[in-house]
Amino acid sequence: MILDTLNIINFKNIAEEQISLSADVNCFVGDNGAGKTNILDAVHYLALAKSMHTLTDSQSVRHGEDSFLVDGRFRRDDGRVDQVVCGYTRRGGKTLKRNGKEYDKLSDHVGGFPIVVVSPADSALISDSAEERRRYINRLISQIDRGYLAQLIRYNTTLQERNKLLKTNPTEDMLLIYDAMLSASADTLFKRREEVIAQLRPMVDEYYALLSDQRESIDLEYRSDLQTAPLSELLLQSRRKDFVNEFTSVGVHRDDVHFTIGGYPLRKFGSQGQQKSFLIALKLAEYRLLAEHCGDRPILLLDDLFDKLDMRRVAQLLRLVGGDMFGQIMITDCNKHRLQRTLSEAGVEYRLFHISQGKASL
């Protein structure tokens, strides 16, 4: 999938901008705070109808203005063209249109415009709690499986109800009903997570080896209570404990994905560059999974390309994503000369945009 043209109005520090993008590699260079990441975020709005940061829509409206508009023309590998417009007004909220027609539900858009982002903020996946990793896996699977999100919502609702019930001294029969509902949803989520992580694993390994010149071995491993027994059984076993604690102590809401380097936890034993390389390998594996599922290559956003990586790894990454497996790419960096040098070393053609105070120029 290619984003041909991008029009932005009153989005963060960008007052009004029209950008014609190359179908291959696009580079955005400029000083800190110039607006490079903001351009990528505008693209993120078109693909997923929200910011790639934990920002509310109103925070994305340019200071002193009432609304923003992002408008993009997408071209698929099969030639189909889609005009996507995402608008937000402080009074009326957000609207998303495809070819002039407004979506009933924003979620109908998700998965149709695949995008993968590599950003310095990814480090939270390693440093933060299991919840962050569950959120990542959930977001990934939701893009390739429409039923997954519905099942996840069902599980979370049932879990909340069961926890509420535990506080009211319920009968065993009452609890059994909830256990059955919870187990049914949990089984589906568990299987899907297991499958997707098993698919990701060899790809992450392969990409990490390419980025690091096979220096270290890494792995990711799914951890779930359900690996020991079905949830219905586990709930029975933990029933007494749950009564005392007044919450559900087993289930897929406790799942985690363990990242390791040389067999040791990546968070503690991986260097900054190794952790970053791992995250890139994970994102590239995600890219491949989305590409296979959508039948269209996602747009790849590489924000702050040199963040924590040495030249060698950046060059290796550029050689990799410059190949045919990957489609359109948008890269940001604050050092034009370093970026240009590395791109030409890697033999990658590109279009360069200078960004300054929210304005783009070739």
Ligand X SMILES: Nc1ncnc2c1ncn2[C@@H]1O[C@H](COP(=O)(O)OP(=O)(O)OP(=O)(O)O)[C@@H](O)[C@H]1O
What type of residue is 105?
Answer: K
Gyration radius of the chain over CA positions: 22
Q: How many residues comprise the chain? A: 362
Q: Which residues of 115-146 are buried (b: 16+ CB within 10 A; e: fewer)?
A: bbbbbeebbebbeeeeeebbebbbebbbbbbe
**Block residue for tokens 């560059």:** 273
Q: Kindly tell me which of 29 and 252 has the beta carbon lying closer to ligand X.
A: 29
Least gap, CB of 85 to ligand X (angstroms): 19
Least gap, CB of 127 to Mg ion (angstroms): 19
| CA 99 to chain CA mean position, Å | 25
**Block residue for tokens 């495809």:** 98
Least gap, CB of 198 to Mg ion (angstroms): 34
Residue 298 interacting entry, from Mg ion, ligand X, none, C-beta within 5 to 8 Å by type = none
**Sites of contact with ligand X (CB under 6 A):** 12-13, 30, 32-38, 59, 61-63, 304, 332, 334
> DSSP per residue over 73-112, as a string?
EEE-TTS-EEEEEEEEETTTEEEEEETTEE-SSGGGTTTT
Least gap, CB of 127 to ligand X (angstroms): 19
- 3-class SS of residue 61: strand
Q: Kindly tell me which of 277 and 332 has the beta carbon lying closer to ligand X.
A: 332
**Block residue for tokens 């007004």:** 89
Q: Kindly tell me which of 259 and 306 has the beta carbon lying closer to Mg ion.
A: 306
Q: Kindly tell me which of 207 and 306 has the beta carbon lying closer to Mg ion.
A: 306
Least gap, CB of 312 to Mg ion (angstroms): 23
Residue 282 interacting entry, from Mg ion, ligand X, none, C-beta within 5 to 8 Å by type = none
Q: Kindly tell me which of 63 and 268 has the beta carbon lying closer to ligand X.
A: 63
Residues 21-40 that bind Mg ion (CB under 5 A): 37
Residue 93 interacting entry, from Mg ion, ligand X, none, C-beta within 5 to 8 Å by type = none
- Interface residue list for Mg ion (CB under 5 A): 37
